[in-house]
Amino acid sequence: MFDYLIVGAGFAGSVLAERLASQDDLKVLIVDRRSHIGGNAYDHYDDAGVLVHRYGPHIFHCNAPEIFAYLSQFTAWRPYQHRVLAQVDGQLLPIPINLDTVNRLYGLALSAFELEEWFASVAESRAEIRTAEDAVVSKVGRDLYNKFFRGYTRKQWGLDPSELDAQVTARIPTRANRDDRYFADRYQAMPLHGYTRMFERMLAHPNIKLMLNTDYREIADVIPHRQVIYTGPIDDFFDCRLGKLPYRSLEFRFETIDAPTFQPVGTVNYPNEYDFTRITEFKRLTGQTHPKTTIVYEYPRADGDPYYPVPRRENAELYKAYQALAEAVPGVTFVGRLATYRYYTMDQVVAQALATWERLRNARRLIAA
């Protein structure tokens, strides 16, 4: 008899499996319908021998020392600061928007202090920051919004920024200095031997059994277990009985080039041209030395594997209705980006999984007392 059946071997499922097995000495069966562990963070060596991320570029960043320390038990790290350029008006300019972005785009020579005043002069005032459009135009004004955010967002989400919650674009800061790093977090690094190797080490515990190529529905009735942790899409768990909850998908097109490098930084964004949103060159992220290089193009899609919850009011309402159903199912805990319908990064999912583990532990103690 397994204590836990865990559905999904991504960050949410693997962190919980690891904690329950190693700290609480519980028996765990973790299943994934894919042929590999790691969920959307899965990486592998492609046919040319270049380490690539099958589901798009994953860069680890976080501020919390305890999250970094937790994952550091399973991997060494390669320090890496991600940099992104956006192709706008024929130039490759830094995004997040910073002092160099504005000076080079408009042919100005503003100082950081003058740029603050310049932003204030072009910003549109908003009583409330409600939408992804508000979040940008209230800081940098309409022209930068149109050049860097409007087209990219419409491509990525199939919606205008005015139809999305502010959090979607509020993730991207605006800077008056020359800092051109994509993230400002305290810890920014890549797992030295890749994400998959890190997941292998998390799951390498005798209390953990792993089944791949397995939908949990195929085995739930035949393998005895006490509790379930579910990390897949929440609407799928309930056979979409309240309607389909939108998840945005992507199609990835990989290309190996017979040259050691392709582009000047890890990712180049194309807000206004082409059907793809961005191109990422993996060797820039991983630091791998190889005579060839592999890049990936991301083409947003409405259908396909669920990758992104779509943050907007009507979806949050439908999610709440599913959440109410979820709370009424005894013995099942919903965790992770798809199961809690949150636009979470990896570190946020790890934090959510660790908090869930504490909660489950306290609940067991209460029952035992």
Site size with ligand UDP, rule: CB under 6 A? 13
d(CA 120, CA 107): 19
Q: Is 217 helix (H, G, I), strand (E, B) or coil?
A: helix
- Of the pair 59, 102, the CB lying nearest ligand FAD is at 59
* Number of Cβ atoms within 10 Å of the Cβ of 273: 9
Query: What is the per-residue burial (b if ≥16 Cβ within 10 Å, else e) of 6-40?
Result: bbbbbbbbbbbbbbbbeeeebbbbbbbbbeebbbb
By CB under 6 A, tell whether 153 contacts ligand UDP: yes
Q: For residues 84 and 343, what is the distance between their CA atoms, to the nearest angstrom? A: 20
Query: From the list 307, 312, 315, 361, which residue makes contact with ligand FAD (rule: CB under 6 A)?
Result: 307
Distance from C-alpha of 200 to C-alpha of 317, rounded to nearest angstrom: 37
The DSSP 8-state label assigned to residue 246 in this structure reads P
Under rule CB under 6 A, residue 338 binds ligand UDP: no
Any alpha helices (H) in 158-297, and if so which ranges? 167-170, 195-203, 216-219, 234-237, 282-286
- The option from ligand FAD, ligand UDP, none interacting with 21 (CB < 5 to 8 A, set by class) reads none
Interface with ligand FAD in residues 195-254 (CB under 6 A): 215-216, 231-232, 250
Q: Quick check: 152 binds ligand UDP (CB under 6 A)?
A: yes
Out of 4, 119, 149, 357, point to the residue binding ligand UDP (CB under 6 A): 149
119 vs 341 by CB, closer to ligand FAD: 341
- x/- mask, ligand FAD, residues 9-28, rule CB under 6 A, reads xxxxx---------------
Stretch of 7-15, 145-153, 204-212, 322-330 lying at the interface with ligand UDP (CB under 6 A)? 145-153
Cα 185 from chain centre = 15
173 versus 316: smaller Cβ distance to ligand UDP: 173
Identify the CA nearest to 168 among candidates 344, 321, 340.
344
336 interacts with, out of ligand UDP, ligand FAD, none, CB within 5 to 8 A per kind = ligand FAD
Work out whether 39 is an interface residue with ligand FAD (CB under 6 A): yes
Question: By CB under 6 A, what part of segment 331-360 binds ligand FAD?
Answer: 336-338, 344-347, 349
Paired residues of 228 in beta bridges? 5, 332
Nearer to ligand UDP, 168 or 176 (CB): 168
Alpha helices in 159-250 (DSSP H): 167-170, 195-203, 216-219, 234-237
Omega before 96 cis (within 30°)?
yes
Q: Minimal distance in Å, beta carbon 77 to ligand FAD?
A: 14
DSSP assigned state of 26: -
Least gap, CB of 343 to ligand FAD (angstroms)? 8
Closer by beta carbon to ligand FAD, 119 or else 230: 230
Amino acid 62 reads C
Contact pattern from residue 77 through residue 96 relative to ligand UDP, giving x for each residue in contact according to CB under 6 A and a dash for the rest: ---------x--------x-
Under 8 Å between Cβ of 172 and 96:
yes
- Contacts with ligand UDP, residue ranges (CB under 6 A): 86, 95, 148-149, 152-153, 156, 168-169, 171-172, 269, 271
- Contacts with ligand FAD, residue ranges (CB under 6 A): 7-13, 31-34, 39-41, 55-59, 215-216, 231-232, 250, 307, 336-338, 344-347, 349
